[in-house]
């Protein structure tokens, strides 16, 4: 997050889709809760930290603020990431037991990671912060240009960070060697 900032520009003009700005908050919440939680996990959060930060971000855009946002999906991710970073800096060891949730359910239970997904998270953890950030936004379906606008960075810097991350991940997964053998 220390790369040079891009000049202030408007986000790319595109018509809004239902996924970008749905009319029903419940549908938006249902769709984005798990996606943003996984996004934060890609950035280094534990499942519980990610779910907590995502919930806090949803509270900020309630009740009707989310309808006025031009890019609610990106805004939600940006706020959730900031909430996660705040958790890291103010982390204390809990002394009280974790209270039970109503009905005994936990939203994190919906996130069951396969061994392959956990391996990918472990590999993402080895990336430098800028590369990890670029990869997390790309894995979440955002283009380099969109990511640059939302993060206030130069699109070339985001593209370069993504390229470096991709190269490191390929090397860690042994994909270059496999391609050379074929």
pLDDT single digits (tens) 124-152: 889 998 999 999 999 889 999 999 998 89
| pLDDT value of position 111 | 64
DSSP E strands in 74-152: the ranges are none
Q: What is the DSSP string of 42-78?
A: HTT--HHHHHHHHHHHHHHHTTTHHHH-SSHHHHHHH
Looking at per-residue confidence, does 36 or 97 come out higher?
36
pTM: 0.67
Q: Please give the pLDDT value at position 11.
A: 36
What would the two tokens of residue 94 be?
């809990």
Q: How confident is the model at residue 97 (pLDDT cuts 50, 70, 90)?
A: low
CA distance 73 to 32: 8
Beta carbons of 154 and 145 less than 8 angstroms apart: no
For 49-75, the pLDDT digits (tens) are: 888 899 899 888 876 777 788 888 898
Structure tokens given for 29: 């919440």
Cα→Cα distances 10→71, 78, 150, 174, Å: 11, 17, 10, 40
Q: What is the mean pLDDT of the chain?
A: 76
């Amino acid at each position: 997050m220390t790369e040079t900032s891009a000049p202030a520009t408007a986000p790319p003009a595109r018509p809004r889709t239902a996924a970008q700005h749905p009319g029903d908050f419940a549908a938006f919440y249902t769709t984005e809760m798990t996606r943003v939680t996984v996004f934060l996990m890609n950035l280094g959060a534990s499942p519980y930290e990610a779910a907590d930060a995502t919930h806090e971000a949803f509270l900020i855009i309630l009740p009707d603020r989310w309808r006025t946002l031009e890019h609610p999906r990106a805004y939600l991710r940006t706020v959730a990431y900031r909430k996660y970073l705040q958790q890291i800096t103010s982390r204390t060891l809990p002394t009280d037991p974790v209270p039970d949730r109503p009905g005994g359910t936990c939203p994190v239970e919906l996130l069951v990671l396969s061994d392959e997904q956990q391996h990918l998270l472990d590999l993402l953890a080895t990336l430098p912060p800028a590369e990890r950030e670029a990869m997390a936004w790309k894995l979440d379906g955002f283009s380099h240009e969109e990511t640059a606008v939302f993060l206030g960075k130069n699109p070339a810097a985001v593209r370069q960070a993504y390229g470096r991350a991709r190269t490191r991940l390929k090397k860690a997964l042994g994909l270059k060697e496999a391609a050379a053998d074929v």
